[in-house]
Structure 1
Amino acid sequence: MSRLITPPIESATGATAEIYAQIKKTIGSVPNTFAAIGAHGPAALKVILEADGVLAAGSLSRQDQETIKLVVSGAVGCDYCVAAHSLLGKMSGLKPDSLKHIRAVEATGDAKRDALVRFVHLLTTTVGTLSDDEVQAIRRVGYTDEQLVDISLAIAVTAFTNVFNRINDTAVDFPAVN
């Protein structure tokens, strides 16, 4: 049971109702995390959705975006986001075996994806400035400076929902992770 009281979606008014309507139009329903964020911080939800829109129009593939979000969510232990991004990763075309390896921070057999997983995991689990070698390693597999900006944005967006879900203990409304 989630910790923050979230009124029924149908009772939302004003900015919250508008955001929920946009989400429903786009994906068909309002996930629990968006419902809770929108109920208590519609401006925050709007910013997160706008940032996701920037990512969708940005330089990273949908598979790369879901890889990043899955690695970050796994590293910080957000079960809600791990479930969500496992499903979204599958919908983006990532194979079940690849998703399992990404969640475990293991090699998938795709050198570029593996470099992305290592890089994002390193950024998420260490402190301080990365070494030149670590930045050059991600560039060597083909990631551009523009993509490094988008990787940073994907991490930031995911960190927000991870932190919120850990505070709220948001009830997972996505399929269980296998």
Structure 2
Amino acid sequence: MSRIATPAIETATGASAEVFTQIKKSIGKVPNLYATMGMLQPAALKAMLQADATLAAGSLSKQDVEVIKLTVSSIGGCTYCVAAHSLIAKLTGLSPESLKHIRHGEPTGDARHDALIAFVKQIAQTHGELSDEAFAAIKAAGYTDAQLVEISLAIAVITFTNTFNRINDTTVDFPAVD
């Protein structure tokens, strides 16, 4: 059970109700994370959703974004985000086997994704310290300087949601993963 009660979204008014309507139109439901965050601080939820929209309009593939989010969430131990991004990543076409490998920090067999995972892991595990070798490897994998900005934004967005979910111990409303 979440530490902060997940509110009934039907009771939302004002900015909270507006953002919940947008989310329901987009994905069909308001997940527990969004319900809690949006009721307490709708501007924070809107900022997070805007950052995600910026990523969606960027040059990273949807799979790349989900690889980043799942990698960071797995390292951080956020069961809510691991479950959510496992489902979303599956919808982008990543195989269940690849998802399992990402969650367990193992190579997936996709050289480009494996380079991205190694890069993100180093950043997440060292709080941003990056070796020259890691920088050279991500560039050799074909990621552009502009995509490095997008990778940084994806890490920031998922770190934000991981942190809130860990504080709240948000009740997972996505399919469980191993």
Q: TM-score range by the shorter chain?
A: over 0.9
Matching of residue 114 in structure 1 with residue 118 in structure 2 = no
Structure 2 SS opposite 1:112 = helix
Asked if the contact 2:122–2:128 (Cα under 8 Å) also holds between the matched residues in 1, the reply is no
Supply the distance in 1 between the matched residues of 2:79 and 2:21 (Cα, whole angstroms): 26
Structure 2 SS opposite 1:59 = coil
Q: Which residue does the alignment assign to 1:146?
A: 146
Supply the distance in 1 between the matched residues of 2:84 and 2:64 (Cα, whole angstroms): 15
Q: Which residue does the alignment assign to 2:79?
A: 79
Structure 2 SS opposite 1:172 = coil
Supply the distance in 2 between the matched residues of 1:129 and 1:36 (Cα, whole angstroms): 33
Give the deviation of 1:138 after TM superposition: 0.3
Give the deviation of 1:7 after TM superposition: 2.3
The one-letter amino acid paired with 1:68 is I
Supply the distance in 2 between the matched residues of 1:8 and 1:130 (Cα, whole angstroms): 43
Give the deviation of 1:127 after TM superposition: 3.6
1:25-69 CA-partner distances (Å, limit 9, x unpaired): 000000000001001110000000000000000010000000000
Q: Count matched residues.
A: 178
Supply the distance in 2 between the matched residues of 1:95 and 1:127 (Cα, whole angstroms): 29
Q: Which residue does the alignment assign to 1:96?
A: 96
Q: Which residue does the alignment assign to 1:176?
A: 176
Matching of residue 67 in structure 1 with residue 67 in structure 2 = yes
Q: Which residue does the alignment assign to 2:156?
A: 156
The one-letter amino acid paired with 1:82 is V
Higher mean displacement: 45-54 or 132-141: 132-141
Q: Which residue does the alignment assign to 2:49?
A: 49
Supply the distance in 1 between the matched residues of 2:111 and 2:128 (Cα, whole angstroms): 25
Structure 1 SS opposite 2:5 = coil
Give the deviation of 1:128 after TM superposition: 5.4
Q: Which residue does the alignment assign to 2:124?
A: 124
The one-letter amino acid paired with 2:17 is A
Q: Which residue does the alignment assign to 1:34?
A: 34
1:62-113 CA-partner distances (Å, limit 9, x unpaired): 0000000000000010000000000000001000000001111111111110
Question: Structure 1: any 5+ residue segments left out of the alignment?
Answer: none
Structure 1 SS opposite 2:6 = coil
Structure 1 SS opposite 2:3 = coil
Supply the distance in 2 between the matched residues of 1:128 and 1:150 (Cα, whole angstroms): 15
Asked if the contact 2:98–2:108 (Cα under 8 Å) also holds between the matched residues in 1, the reply is yes
Give the deviation of 1:4 after TM superposition: 1.1
The 4+ residue runs of structure 1 with deviation greater than 4 A are none
TM-score with structure 1 setting the length: 0.98
1:98-135 CA-partner distances (Å, limit 9, x unpaired): 00011111111111100101110110011453122210
What is the aligned-residue identity percentage? Answer: 64
